[in-house]
Amino acid sequence: MKNKLIGIFIALTVLLELAMLGCSPRSNTSTDSLHEAFSGIFFIGTAMDIPQITGENQQALDVIKRHFNSIVAENCMKSVSIQPVKGQFDFTHSDQFMAFGRENGMHIVGHTLIWHSQAPDWFFVDKNGGVVSPEVLTERMRTHIHTLAGRYKGQVHGWDVVNEAIMEDGSWRNSMFYQILGEDFVRLAFEFAHETDPDAELYYNDYGMANPGRREGVIRMVKDLQAQGIRIDGIGMQGHVHLDSPTIEEFEESIVAFSELGLKVMITELDVSVLPWPGTFVSADVAMSAAYQAEMNPYADNLPDNVYEELRNRYLDLFRLFIKHQDHISRVTTWGVHDGQSWRNYWPVEGRVDYPLLFDRNYEPKPFVLEIIDMGNEARK
């Protein structure tokens, strides 16, 4: 009896420790579900768009439930959607998003509390049309964060507290937040988030994080927050990458550098564009020409085998890298489920056909996804 009790105690302790690590226990059984293949290694997440959140796109929801165990809202938690008019909060979609997450036992990420983009104009303007004072902006940030993070207190596992504050050369982005409050806006955002939901993890999220300049700038900012005793738990490396850039080595350097800050690293917005990047100095005439349009949208009908092969290699290289650094990476989230929904089809050029995600336009996993699943099964052994 005593031995049995000790056994139960040990099992409970192990489970508790795993829960504290934010992981489910590893199982050795092979699986054909992506998130199960990586169970105990890192969460496999996806961003959800509105037709998924409202339940209109059932096919996508079936894929999400089978292959993903973490979700983030693509747009509906951004400030322009949540508080389009001062004091008027619209939680219609965010409530539905949260309900889906709760009902399906998802690890839920809130995106994003403070971001210069997709923010309503009123946030920075007083009633006479002038720029608000630092005190007024601080209050607006406080209200926004308290209201949004407060509504989902205890339900959101981690918040992208600040998005995209650092430029490629490591300097501060000259956003309205920065212009009005200076670098202190980041500290304030993290403090407001932490006092609202002390159990939620708090992240800084940015793109182009493999870039050495931005990497150094982010490290400086994080060390400064840490020196002030501000809670920050993780760094989100948006993974909006291309077939050949950044290099795996550059990406790896940032994973290592961020983990050395004692923080979790998350690959937050993974998608691999196969399309050419538009030139900067293209005249309006050329830009409108049929030849240029065709050059910019080369795979409108289908993806040639050789480009598929490049995409496959790129994804396999990335997942190999993530598995190598599994001790520091807590989540890999793709920016959407299937190619048809991806923002890459309309940015930086409208109306293209890109192939950046793991599932194709028919919601089928691309063949290399089975290889990624095998990699997860192998890594769990």
Residues 24-43 that bind ligand GLA (CB under 6 A): none
Does 163 help bind ligand GLA (rule: CB under 6 A)?
A: yes
In the complex, least distance from residue 357 CB atom to ligand GLA, rounded to whole angstroms: 12
Work out which of 343, 349, 360, 363 binds ligand GLA, going by CB under 6 A. Answer: 343
Computed from CA positions of residues 306, 308, 311, 312, in that sequence, does the dihedral angle turn out positive or negative?
A: negative
| Site track 41-80 with ligand GLA (rule: CB under 6 A), x = hit | ----------------------------------------
CA angle centred on 173, ends 172 and 177, rounded to 5°: 100
* Nearest-10 crossing angle of helices 305-324, 367-380: 20
What phi and psi, each to the nearest 5 degrees, are found at residue 307?
A: -75, -35
Q: Is the CB of 39 or the CB of 83 nearer to ligand GLA?
A: 83
CB 278 within 8 Å of CB 347: no
Would you please indicate which residues are annotated as catalytic (active-site) residues?
164, 269
Number of residues forming the site for ligand GLA (CB under 6 A):
6
Task: Give whichever of 74 and 233 is closer to ligand GLA, judged by the CB atom.
Answer: 74
Question: Which residue in 24, 52, 96, 238 binds ligand GLA (CB under 6 A)?
Answer: 238
Residue closest to ligand GLA, measured at CB: 343
* Cα–Cα distance measured from residue 301 to residue 233, given in angstroms and rounded to the nearest whole number: 43
The distance of closest approach from Cβ of residue 163 to ligand GLA in the complex, given in angstroms and rounded to an integer, is 5
Quick note: the x/- pattern for ligand GLA over 90-119, rule CB under 6 A, is ---------------------x--------
Does position 197 interact with ligand GLA (CB under 6 A)? The reply is no
In the bound state with ligand GLA, the residue whose beta carbon lies nearer, of 241 and 296, is 241
Q: What angle do CA 92, 196, 185 make, to 5 degrees?
A: 95
For the residues of 284-347, what is the DSSP string, one character each?
A: HHHHHSHHHHHHH-TTSS---HHHHHHHHHHHHHHHHHHHHTTTTEEEEEESSSBGGG-GGGTS
Residue 117 CB, shortest distance to ligand GLA, in Å, is: 7
| Residue written as token pair 């982010």 | 218
x/- letters, 123..162, toward ligand GLA (CB under 6 A): ----------------------------------------
Return d(Cα 228, Cα 230) in angstroms, integer.
6
Least separation in angstroms between residue 251's CB and ligand GLA is 16
Q: Which residues of 45-56 are buried (b: 16+ CB within 10 A; e: fewer)?
A: bbbbbbebbeee
Q: Which one of 38, 124, 204, 207 is in contact with ligand GLA (CB under 6 A)? A: 207
Report which of 287, 273, 282 is spatially closest to residue 345, judged by C-alpha positions.
273
Q: Identify the CA nearest to 171 among candidates 181, 161, 182.
A: 182
Nearest CB to ligand GLA, comparing residues 118 and 171:
118
- Contacting residue, 269, 273, 275, 322, with ligand GLA by CB under 6 A: 269
E strands, the chain, are 43-48, 70-73, 107-115, 158-163, 201-206, 234-237, 240-242, 264-273, 329-334
Minimum distance between the CB of residue 327 and ligand GLA, rounded to whole angstroms? 26
Q: List residues binding ligand GLA (CB under 6 A).
A: 111, 163, 207, 238, 269, 343
